């Protein structure tokens, strides 16, 4: 339950806009723009970074919508019955990495109607390990 509390501000209206920019033949960097209301500081926040790396065969489309996280304390969305905090389109699934493949996570989000899925690394400190994800989006 403590894990879900950390992401409480994502339950409030948020807009995520992702613009894809190819940098190499096989990997794609994503420019991510976030706009959300932080209930702790009681103010709107806008952030932007080139902090995403999208994998092979990913559709190079922009996506925007509210952000939804898994409703359970497990934020990894490995269970096919995972429900999300947002279901009204357009919305983007925010899923923690681990315990199952990226493909499984994306399929769970897609079955629930997500426009896009963002899979993030849970880490501490200054490290920010990125890796290519390989998934056949045509399947």
User: How far is C-alpha 46 from the geometric centre of its chain's CA atoms?
Assistant: 17
In angstroms, rounded to a whole number, what is the distance separating the alpha carbons of residues 76 and 55? Answer: 19
How does DSSP assign 67-80, residue by residue?
EE-BSSS-TT--ST
In angstroms, rounded to a whole number, what is the distance separating the alpha carbons of residues 46 and 12? Answer: 14
Look at the chain and report how many structural domains it folds into: 1
What is the domain extent for residue 15? 2-120
Does any domain span residue 18? Answer: yes
Does any domain span residue 135? Answer: no
* Predicted TM-score (pTM) above 0.95: no
Residue 20 confidence (pLDDT) above 70: no
The whole-chain average pLDDT of the chain stands at: 76
Half-sphere exposure of 50 (CA within 13 A, CB side): 6
Does any domain span residue 130? Answer: no
The string of pLDDT tens digits covering residues 92-116 is 999 999 999 988 999 999 999 999 9
Radius of gyration of the chain (CA): 15
Does any domain span residue 47? Answer: yes
Does any domain span residue 126? Answer: no
Lowest mean pLDDT among 26-30, 42-46, 66-70, 75-79: 26-30
Does any domain span residue 58? Answer: yes
Lowest mean pLDDT among 14-18, 24-28, 54-58: 14-18
Does any domain span residue 23? Answer: yes
Residue 139: the pLDDT is 46
Does any domain span residue 90? Answer: yes
């Amino acid at each position: 339950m403590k894990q879900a509390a950390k992401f409480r501000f994502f339950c409030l209206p948020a807009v995520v806009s992702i613009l894809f920019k190819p940098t190499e033949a096989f990997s794609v960097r994503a420019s991510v723009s976030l706009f959300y209301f932080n209930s702790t500081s009681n103010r709107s926040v806008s952030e932007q970074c080139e902090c995403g790396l999208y994998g092979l065969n990913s559709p190079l489309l922009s996506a925007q919508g509210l952000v939804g996280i898994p409703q359970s304390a497990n934020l990894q969305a490995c269970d096919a019955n995972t429900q999300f905090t947002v279901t009204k389109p357009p919305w983007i699934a925010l899923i923690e990495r681990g315990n199952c493949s990226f493909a499984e996570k994306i399929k769970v989000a897609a079955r629930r109607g997500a426009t896009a899925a963002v899979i993030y690394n849970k880490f501490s400190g200054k490290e920010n390990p990125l890796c290519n994800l390989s998934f056949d989006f045509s399947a």
